[in-house]
């Protein structure tokens, strides 16, 4: 199966193009766009970890090492498309247009963090594993029935492929030929379980065969491969050719979450030979004359300011409404919850 699903790569670890057919499609605008967003979300990610360690936000799932997957795929989408993220795909949603202040609010436990900007179809992050796949297939099916050319992308990790929702979603997408991109980020571990302990398949891409849909395997640390292969799948979906399963092989450098200790289950030194996706892109920029040391320093300063401003915006956001604990679930609160609500509000009054 690995031979049937070879890993697509456009740029190698040293930043050299290994597929010259893409030379003309990789222009300065695309390179700078990819670099800007990858550096931006890494700056956000590192700040979020710092905030969690300070106790200013809750448990946080870092994504460093997966920036090429998230940025490359998000940039391949169109304005009206739908994004269904997991709890680790805030890099993709930020690239797609999510508000950074609200992103910090989400990790601060605020429901306001689930609100997407006007006109942006971004679902709240799915913490239950694989449930967002069904939502994405449903949304894309609705768009197909309405006669639009909008597509939906569902992000999920390798562990999600062991869930029933994954198989149900792929089956439905295949039967109804929904315009869905099923984007898997295979970082080698489903929490503390290595991939070989949670599936016997050699690849995730091969699972597409059972559902009669295209399946591709790409180097998830190669932002060009991610961008162009996702774009190809998006265009196919828009043209009515149904779903595509993409397996992006990548590596998360940090813990599963800030509450996790990967030294308990990841062998020491594992992943040390994997070249960081941002480093790879920067090597390409230096090789091909796109690198400007001062411009990058200026950009980093600008991104630092943006992130700090967003943190300030989170801190200055109006205090939460205590009634949010009870509202927005039932049309009419059951008597026992109404009683709890009244007790709680009286308690807050002192």
Tens digits of residue pLDDT in 111-161 = 999 999 999 999 999 999 999 999 999 999 999 999 999 999 999 999 999
Question: Which are the catalytic amino acids?
Answer: 252, 256, 265
Instruction: State the distance between the two ends of the chain, measured CA to CA, in whole angstroms.
Output: 65
Phi (first) and psi of residue 181, to 5 degrees: -105, 120
Phi (first) and psi of residue 146, to 5 degrees: -80, -10
Task: Give residue 165's pLDDT.
Answer: 98
Task: Give residue 191's pLDDT.
Answer: 85
Domain chopping of the chain, boundaries = 7-319, 321-350
Cα–Cα distances (Å) from 34 to 113, 292, 349, in that order, read: 25, 15, 51
CA separation for the pair 163, 152 (Å, rounded): 20
Task: Give residue 50's pLDDT.
Answer: 98
pTM: 0.95
HSE-up of 320 (CA within 13 Å, CB side)? 16
Task: Give residue 125's pLDDT.
Answer: 97
* Nearest residue to 137 (alpha-carbon basis) of 94, 96, 84: 84
Task: Give residue 2's pLDDT.
Answer: 78
HSE-up of 153 (CA within 13 Å, CB side)? 31
Query: pLDDT digit of tens for each residue in the chain (350 aa)?
Result: 778 899 999 999 999 999 999 999 999 999 999 999 999 999 999 999 999 999 999 999 999 999 999 999 999 999 999 999 999 999 999 999 999 999 999 999 999 999 999 999 999 999 999 999 999 999 999 999 999 999 999 999 999 999 999 999 999 999 999 999 999 999 999 888 899 998 999 999 999 999 999 999 999 999 999 999 999 999 999 999 999 999 999 999 999 999 999 999 999 889 999 999 999 999 999 999 999 999 999 999 999 999 999 999 999 999 988 888 898 889 999 999 999 999 999 999 88
Give the CATH superfamily of 7-319: Thiamin diphosphate (ThDP)-binding fold, Pyr/PP domains (3.40.50.970)
């Amino acid at each position: 199966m690995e031979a049937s699903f070879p890993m697509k790569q456009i740029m190698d670890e040293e930043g050299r193009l290994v597929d010259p057919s893409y030379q003309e499609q990789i222009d300065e605008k695309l390179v700078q766009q990819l670099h800007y967003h990858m550096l931006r979300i890494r700056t956000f990610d590192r700040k979020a970890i710092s905030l969690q360690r300070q106790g200013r936000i809750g448990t946080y799932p870092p994504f460093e090492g997966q920036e090429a997957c998230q940025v490359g795929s998000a940039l391949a989408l169109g304005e009206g498309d739908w994004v269904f993220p997991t709890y680790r795909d805030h890099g993709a949603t930020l690239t797609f247009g999510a508000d950074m202040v609200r992103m910090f609010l989400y990790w601060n436990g605020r429901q306001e963090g689930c609100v997407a900007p006007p006109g942006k179809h971004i679902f709240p992050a799915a913490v239950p594993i694989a449930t967002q796949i069904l939502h994405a297939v449903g949304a894309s099916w609705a768009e197909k029935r309405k006669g639009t050319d909008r597509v939906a992308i569902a992000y999920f990790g390798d562990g999600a492929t062991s869930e029933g929702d994954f198989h149900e979603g792929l089956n439905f997408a295949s039967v109804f030929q929904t315009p869905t991109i099923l984007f898997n980020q295979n970082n080698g571990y489903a929490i503390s379980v290595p991939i070989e302990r949670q599936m016997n398949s050699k690849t995730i891409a091969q699972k597409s065969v059972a559902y009669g849909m295209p399946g591709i395997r790409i180097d998830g640390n190669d932002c060009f491969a991610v961008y162009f292969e996702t774009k190809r799948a998006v265009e196919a979906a828009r043209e009515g050719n149904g779903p595509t399963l993409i397996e992006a092989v990548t590596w998360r450098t940090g813990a599963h979450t800030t509450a996790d200790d990967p030294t308990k289950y990841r062998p020491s030194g594992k992943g040390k030979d994997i070249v960081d996706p941002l480093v790879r892109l920067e090597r390409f920029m230096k090789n091909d004359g796109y690198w400007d040391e001062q411009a990058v320093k200026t950009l980093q300063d600008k991104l630092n300011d943006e992130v700090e401003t967003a943190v300030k915006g989170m801190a200055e956001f109006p205090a939460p409404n205590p009634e949010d604990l009870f509202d927005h679930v039932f049309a009419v609160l059951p008597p026992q919850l109404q009683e709890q609500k009244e007790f709680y509000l009286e308690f807050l009054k002192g």
